Structure 1
Amino acid sequence: MPAGDSQRIAVDPRAQGDHDESSDYLSGSEYSTESLSSSIFEYRYENGRRYHAYKDGNYILPNDEKEQNRLDIIHHIYLLMLKDELHLAPLENPQRILDLGTGTGIWAMDMAERYPSAEVIGTDLSPIQPSWVPPNVHFQIDDAESDWTWEENSFDFIHLRHLSGAIKDWQKLMEQAFKFLKPGGYIEIHEYDMGLFSDDGTLPEDLWLWKFYDLVNKAANKNGRAFQIVSNIESLLNSARFEQPDYRMYKLPLGLWAADPKMKEIGAYLLLNAESAYDAFGMALFTRELGMTVEEAREIVTGAEKDSRNKKIHAYSKQ
């Protein structure tokens, strides 16, 4: 994706804070916070969360209602970031669209309404999509890493968002996408750096946030499904013979510290996302891959959640 607005985010003076006041974001602001086998529904329950059963372990995030709400918040953040656009590719009357890792199916359903003549297929490991959907949407339980069984050269547009941490062989995935796209079709990938950044030195390395992201990345690397894929996407696309990859990067503030009203709104939703994201990303990886006890993992998750609410920390993510 082409370089988006990657300039430094201005800080709202009210988010500077001082030693005589609370460092947390407080309440009071406007931003306060039968085709399927039955085995697919035999979910795994762990640490108070529910996980998918199909290809158990291939995806480390939960699929319960709490996680579904978080995924829908992510969708809203993208609408804000992209100014209500569902994609950046210059589509013209697409007739067949594939959404890999569709999650709750919210993007696929929005695309089906925006392009009513298109057939939209959404695939996921979890059957968490609604039953009542636009007539041109079809959801399938499938693993994006398995060999695809659709007809080759059959999709106008392939979309994937936030599959970092779920894919072992990104090169195979890109090659399959190329094979199943029509000539002249587009693939659009929305991924993120698993980490936070700061331009003003307010993200010191002694924070729980630093420890959380460091350990999450170590656990994901051990699992074989690394999060750090952003820097490799362009080369992967080139190797798969895609033409002229277009890259864009957006800085999204975590919290209400940005001066710009739109950035502040995005930051509020990113903070709302964080309320369940640290638990979702951390608990399974820390206990399964790093051998932590539930108590040890919970301490890190809780610390990261607290740090994310500190208005003196002007951190942002890269999308």
Structure 2
Amino acid sequence: MALEYSDNMPHDEDDASDASSDVTELDANDFPDHFSEREGRLFHSHGSLPYPLPVDSPEQARLNNLHRILRDIVELHYLGPVAEVLCDVRGRQKRVLDLCTGTGSWPMDMARLFPGVKIYGLDIVPIATRRPERHVQFEIHDVTRRSRWNDGAMDFVHARSIDLAVTDYPKLLQEAARLLRPGGLFFSGEIGRYVDFAHGFSSDPAHQAPRAQRFFQVVNHSLQLRHLAPIADKIPSFIQLSRQFTVPTIQTFHIPIGDWHPNTVMRRIGKMYLNALKDFAESLKPMLRETGMTQHDIDNYVNGFIHDIEHVRGLVGVYHTAWARKL
């Protein structure tokens, strides 16, 4: 059973100490507070929140797979001056906040790299690891709401793959800015909800991979009904418009889809990402049904998508990243 972390402590207590919440396991009475079952899949039970995907074991496996893919594509667990921001300062506890932490893979890996740093992971459901590192703490929290920490409590706010949980990204940025100390670091990483071609291949998915492109058009339309617009390439503009941060540093990475890449490492990543996309399509089926689509249409869109990503060489996902420091 997943863990829940009690939030009985005063809201500002661990801004100045390393006090941790008590760790407890969910019992049967707590289960409906966090989870509901639909169509044989387990979802969060917070009806007002837009997150559309399941939170069960198959989806958790996909999230862990995606964590490994992004780590290997970037070749690090982070981008930007993280080591500088998290370096030891005498008499001061450094703190990191991971938004929409999911299974908690990123905080756990970062904890091994920065053993003196306190790392918090927030999510709406308790699906993080049951055995966190001593200085890692997972908490139940809706990241679209104000968090319990005082202004300037954090040194690094990490926001990766949160676009399916946030309908108002500028508002989230304001909260991230509030939490960061001057000079603190904000990082965003989002995979675009579309397919593209790698350099040297056809540059027109509409002709070369029409079923994959149509799948994402349908998915994005359904997500926009939940006010979840595609924002991966817009986040740098949001950062600048907030007037709370330095000019963001922007990097994009191509993630190969399938085993077409000549490089051995990239070919391995491509196979992993192909499987992750298949799982993603499967996890989206309940949401598509909720929009009124027939099972026949859903199967056609999903099967067409899988056909293209399995057979069209040169397809990539695009990982958009941006980091900036708090003014």
| TM tier relative to shorter chain | 0.7 to 0.9
8 Å contact 1:203–1:314 — kept in the other structure?
no
Q: Determine helix, strand or coil for the equivalent of 2:151.
A: coil
Q: 1:215 and 1:64 mapped to 2: Cα distance?
A: 24
Can you list the C-alpha shifts for 1:256-277, whole angstroms capped at 9, x where unaligned?
A: 1112223212211111212311
Residue type of the alignment partner of 2:35: Y
- Aligned equivalent of 1:292: 293
One-letter code aligned to 1:309: E
The structure whose RCO (Cα within 8 Å, separation 6+) is larger is: 1
Q: TM-score, normalised by structure 2?
A: 0.80
Q: 2:245 matched to 1:242? A: yes
Q: Does 1:125 align with 2:120?
A: no
Aligned-partner Cα distance in 1 for 2:278–2:222:
21
**In structure 2, what is the equivalent of residue 233 of structure 1?**
235
> Hey, what's the Cα distance between the residues in 2 that align with 1:121 and 1:234?
24
Match of 1:313 in 2: 313
1:42 deviation in Å?
Answer: 5.3
Separation in 2, partners of 1:80, 1:73? 11
Aligned residue for 2:210? 207
Distance across 2 between alignment mates of 1:234 and 1:214: 23
Counterpart Cα distance in 2 of 1:49 and 1:208: 26
Alpha carbons of structure 1 residues 191 and 201: separation in structure 2 relative to 1, 3 Å: closer
Q: Deviations over 1:53-75 (max 9, x none)?
A: 13554210111110111001111
Q: Distance in 1 between matches of 2:176 and 2:34?
A: 30
Q: CA deviation at 1:40?
A: 5.1
What is residue 305 of structure 2 aligned with on the other side?
304
1:65 equivalent in structure 2: 57
Match of 1:90 among 81, 87, 90: 81
2:103 maps to 1:104: yes
Call closer, same or farther: CA 1:181–1:294 in 2, change over 3 Å. same
1:255-270 superposed matches below 5 A: 255-270=258-273
Q: In the aligned structure 1, how far is the partner of 2:275 from the partner of 2:25?
A: 36
3-state secondary structure, aligned to 1:231: coil
Question: 1:141-152, aligned counterparts within 5 Å?
Answer: 141-152=140-151
Q: Secondary structure at the match of 1:51?
A: strand
C-alpha separation between the residues in 1 aligned to 2:289 and 2:154?
39
Contact 1:40 1:126 in 2 (8 A): no
The correspondence for 1:279, drawn from 282, 301, 310, is 282
Residue 305 of structure 1 deviates from its aligned partner by: 1.9
> Secondary structure of 1:250's partner?
strand
The structural deviation recorded for 1:45 is 2.1
Task: Write the distance in 1 (CA, Å) between the matches of 2:107 and 2:270.
Answer: 25
Map of 1:168 onto structure 2: 167
Contact residue 35 and residue 125 of structure 2 kept, 8 A: no
Please give the alpha-carbon distance, in whole angstroms, between the structure 2 residues aligned to 1:201 and 1:155. Answer: 42
- Which shifted more, 233-242 or 68-77? 233-242
- Contact 1:40–1:54 (Cα < 8 Å) also in 2: no
Cα offset for 1:35? 8.2
1:181 aligns with 2:184: no
Q: One-letter code of the match for 2:169?
A: W
Distance 1:69 1:39, change over 3 A: closer
Residue 201 and residue 236 in structure 1: after superposition, are their counterparts in 2 closer, same or farther (change >3 A)?
A: closer
How many residues align? The count is 281
User: What is the CA–CA distance in structure 1 between the aligned matches of 2:234 and 2:203, rounded to whole Å?
Assistant: 27
Range that drifts further, 60-69 or 192-201: 192-201
- Alpha carbons 2:62, 2:276 under 8 Å: kept: yes
